[in-house]
Chains A and B, each alone.
Chain A
Amino acid sequence: MRLIGLLFGIAFGFLLALGGLNEYEVIHNMLLLEDFAPYLIMASAVAVAAPVVWLLERRRWSTPFAGALRPGRSRPERHHLAGSAIFGTGWAVAGTCPAPALAMTGSGALLGVVVVGGMFAGLMARDYLETRTGEGLADLDLGMRIAPKPRVGMAEMDRV
């Protein structure tokens, strides 16, 4: 599974750079509605993936690593919307999002390191706030909880 993770990451990073999504100006122009290629990339990715997932699930596909295919699904809750509004603000300011920030850094953009470092700090800050224990990630819904106690609004799907 680790090798698969690495290979999927390599393919993902490779494609992001091929599509130019590792460039600040491409994302910035996308959000200024001057470059529509990134939207078309996202839409065509979903247009390919969605029917495949639908068909596999209908055929009761059994995954080699995790049993029956049952993608996690959640109902929209307040934290999804509030979190996404916060995320969207950061996305607009940094002109890159989590995977492209890594790809940007990989392609030699030194200030990408600042964004990636900020991402780490922000994720940890949220985790800290959620636990309020000072233990950081230890008690969070990262599958790292010792006693599996469901947290409100943090369903399976949320481990993305």
Chain B
Amino acid sequence: MDLLPDRVAWYVVGPLLGLLVAGMFALANKPLGASGSYVQTIAALRRRASEPWRAWYFAGIFIGAVAASALQGRLQLRTGYELMLDVWPLPATVVVLAAGGVVMGYGARMAGGCTSGHGLCGTSARSAASFAATATFMAVAIGVTFVLHWLTGGRL
């Protein structure tokens, strides 16, 4: 199927995401954060989730992406990191990505949120900590990306 374009304009996607963020505050006074959903998914598997709905939210993100990709005609098995695989062989890429995931998880847990929890929800609720967190991870991520770009001779 090819019912939807590969990339829908930011002024459609962004405001709709904003409505979801506002909607979850309006319904349940909760930030719609992704790293919290990872945590609650682990907790749910151990049968001690304090917010089981977040485990369902976790599953939902996956399902929603499957549906959108199918409608875009892009649902197919692939590595997803073709650009990185041009630079490093598969085993090295797997190590880099696993390390990236671990560092992200560790940092998000320490900071109390990630791009969605602090970046979208906390800022929408005018939490000072979220503005500080968002400014920090944006600046660091851009800086590290430029370092990677330089280290790989512009291939990444």
- Enumerate chain A interface residues (CB-CB to B < 8 A): 1-20, 22-26, 28, 31-33, 37-38, 40-50, 52-54, 56, 61, 63-77, 79-95, 97-99, 101-112, 114-127, 136-138, 142-144, 154-155, 157-160
**Hey, which chain B residues are within 8 Å of A101, CB to CB?**
101
CB contact under 8 A between A14 and B17, given known A80-B132, A85-B136, A89-B140: no
Q: Shortest CB–CB separation between residue B139 and chain A, in angstroms?
A: 7
Interface class of chain A by DSSP: helix
Q: B28 contacts which of A3, A4, A15, A40 (Cβ < 8 Å)?
A: A4
The yes or no answer to B27 lying at the interface (CB within 8 A) is yes
In the complex, the answer to whether B78 meets A88 with C-beta atoms within 8 Å is no
In the complex, the answer to whether A48 meets B57 with C-beta atoms within 8 Å is no
| Nearest CB in chain B to that of A36: its residue | B10
In the complex, the answer to whether A72 meets B64 with C-beta atoms within 8 Å is no
Q: B100 contacts which of A22, A45, A115 (Cβ < 8 Å)?
A: A115
In the complex, the answer to whether A11 meets B112 with C-beta atoms within 8 Å is no
| Nearest CB in chain A to that of B46: its residue | A137
Q: Which of B10-30 contact A (CB under 8 A)?
A: 10-30
In the complex, the answer to whether A46 meets B124 with C-beta atoms within 8 Å is yes
Q: Which of B110-127 contact A (CB under 8 A)?
A: 110-127
The yes or no answer to B67 lying at the interface (CB within 8 A) is yes
Q: A15 contacts which of B16, B94, B128, B138 (Cβ < 8 Å)?
A: B16
Q: Shortest CB–CB separation between residue A102 and chain B, in angstroms?
A: 5
The CB with the most chain B CB atoms within 10 A, among A11, A23, A102, A143, is that of: A102
Q: For the complex, give the distance between the alpha carbons of A123 and B130 in Å.
A: 19
Number of interface residues of B (CB under 8 A): 127
Q: For the complex, give the distance between the alpha carbons of A8 and B22 in Å.
A: 11
Q: Shortest CB–CB separation between residue A20 and chain B, in angstroms?
A: 4
In the complex, the answer to whether B63 meets A10 with C-beta atoms within 8 Å is yes
**Hey, which chain B residues are within 8 Å of A64, CB to CB?**
27-28
The yes or no answer to B66 lying at the interface (CB within 8 A) is yes
Q: A98 contacts which of B74, B115, B136 (Cβ < 8 Å)?
A: B115
In the complex, the answer to whether A123 meets B132 with C-beta atoms within 8 Å is no
Q: For the complex, give the distance between the alpha carbons of A57 and B124 in Å.
A: 12
Q: Shortest CB–CB separation between residue B1 and chain A, in angstroms?
A: 14
**Hey, which chain B residues are within 8 Å of A14, CB to CB?**
64-65, 67-68
Q: Shortest CB–CB separation between residue A43 and chain B, in angstroms?
A: 7
In the complex, the answer to whether A28 meets B156 with C-beta atoms within 8 Å is yes
In the complex, the answer to whether B19 meets A137 with C-beta atoms within 8 Å is no
In the complex, the answer to whether B8 meets A19 with C-beta atoms within 8 Å is yes
Q: For the complex, give the distance between the alpha carbons of A108 and B127 in Å.
A: 35
**Hey, which chain A residues are within 8 Å of B113, CB to CB?**
157-158, 160
In the complex, the answer to whether A103 meets B64 with C-beta atoms within 8 Å is yes
In the complex, the answer to whether B127 meets A86 with C-beta atoms within 8 Å is no
The 9 A-B residue pairs with the shortest CB-CB distance, nearest first, are A9-B60, A118-B101, A109-B80, A122-B105, A160-B117, A13-B64, A83-B111, A143-B50, A48-B18
